[in-house]
Amino acid sequence: MLLAHALGLARLDLYVHFDRPLAPAERDRVRELVRRRGDGVPVAYLVGEREFYARPFAVTPAVLVPRPETETLVEAALQTLAGRAAPRVLDVGTGAGVIAITVLLERPDATAWASDLDPAALEVAHQNARRHGVLERLVLRAGDLLEPWQEEPGHGRLDAVLSNPPYVARGDPLLDPAVARHEPALALHPPEPDPLHFVRRLAREAPAALAPAGVLAVEVGLGSAAEGLAVLGAHGWREARAVPDLAGIPRVLLARRPAPGA
Ligand SMILES: C[S@@+](CC[C@H](N)C(=O)[O-])C[C@H]1O[C@@H](n2cnc3c(N)ncnc32)[C@H](O)[C@@H]1O
């Protein structure tokens, strides 16, 4: 991937032109990329792109590199939205925009809002929305969790609040040091040493934003699902369950809005 990127070729062309010698400038470009990869810089940052749900998305060091686990969240959200016409969804902490944009691409009748604290991340999401032709169905706003959406005039109620929030506590020994060094701290770590910080906040704050049958889908880290489900249950969320990712790890908490007055 690095070689193809440095030479401006498709990967297949590397095989077709396997015996073409490199010009000195090309060799320097490849060497520099390999050196940075050796420092632990994610390939996605070096080539400026990552695939998500079989589509290419631009990424920069301002955003978390989208992970395959998050496709489980999108899949679960699409299933719950299957019976609803013209669904309205909010992607909280959108980063590169992969969740909102994929839902919009899979559901051409949907409308989405997406928030992020970091305006630089929203620029990447904007670029991706334009690239995938969904900009007119997506409102991108900077701010804290649901706040930017609440401030939108005439925002109505949502069918789903979706989020892959920061959930790795600072100093977690399981966190790859290269990830901690290169991916944005704001995308990785909650503001306090509680992996469920944002689940607790969404459990409290999301009901007011959702239509009566609305759902919350939120990604959690390894070992957090059982406690996360208990948090949702304590706030009256209904039919709460954990959906496993492809590795069988309970990864996405899915629940229906608490009954009004609960
Ligand atoms: C784990 S990343 C997820 C990015 C993207 N949704 C994905 O799945 O690849 C979390 C994102 O939440 C944003 N964020 C952190 N705190 C936030 C807050 N209080 N309100 C809104 N967004 C926040 C970060 O800037 C980051 O882009």
Please tell me whether residues 30 and 97 are part of one structural domain. Answer: no
pTM above 0.85, yes or no: yes
Please tell me whether residues 175 and 81 are part of one structural domain. Answer: yes
Q: Give CA–CA dist 191/198, Å, rounded.
A: 9
- pLDDT of amino acid 30: 95
Measure 23 CA to ligand 1 centroid, in angstroms. 41
CATH of the domain at 186: 3.40.50.150
By residue count, the chain amounts to: 262
The band of 262, judged by pLDDT with boundaries at 50, 70 and 90, is low
- pLDDT of amino acid 154: 73
Q: Give CA–CA dist 81/79, Å, rounded.
A: 5
Please tell me whether residues 217 and 133 are part of one structural domain. Answer: yes
242 lies in which domain range?
A: 62-256
**How many structural domains are present in the chain?**
2
CB 107 within 8 A of CB 115: no
For residue 191, which atom of ligand 1 is closest to its CA? Answer: 16
Please tell me whether residues 23 and 151 are part of one structural domain. Answer: no
Tens digit of each residue's pLDDT (9 = 90 or more) over 212-239: 999 999 999 999 999 999 999 999 999 9
* Residue 166, amino acid: P
Please tell me whether residues 169 and 236 are part of one structural domain. Answer: yes
Q: Tell me if residue 6 falls in helix, strand or coil.
A: helix
> Which of 49, 51, 57, 64 is the pocket-test mutation for ligand 1 (most atoms within 8 Å of CB)?
64
Tens digit of each residue's pLDDT (9 = 90 or more) over 184-210: 999 999 999 999 999 999 999 999 999
Closest CA to ligand 1's atom 7: 66
- pLDDT of amino acid 252: 98
For residue 165, which atom of ligand 1 is closest to its CA? Answer: 10
Tens digit of each residue's pLDDT (9 = 90 or more) over 8-67: 999 999 999 999 999 999 999 999 999 999 999 999 999 999 999 999 999 999 999 999
Please tell me whether residues 129 and 35 are part of one structural domain. Answer: no
Structure letter (DSSP) for residue 257 = P
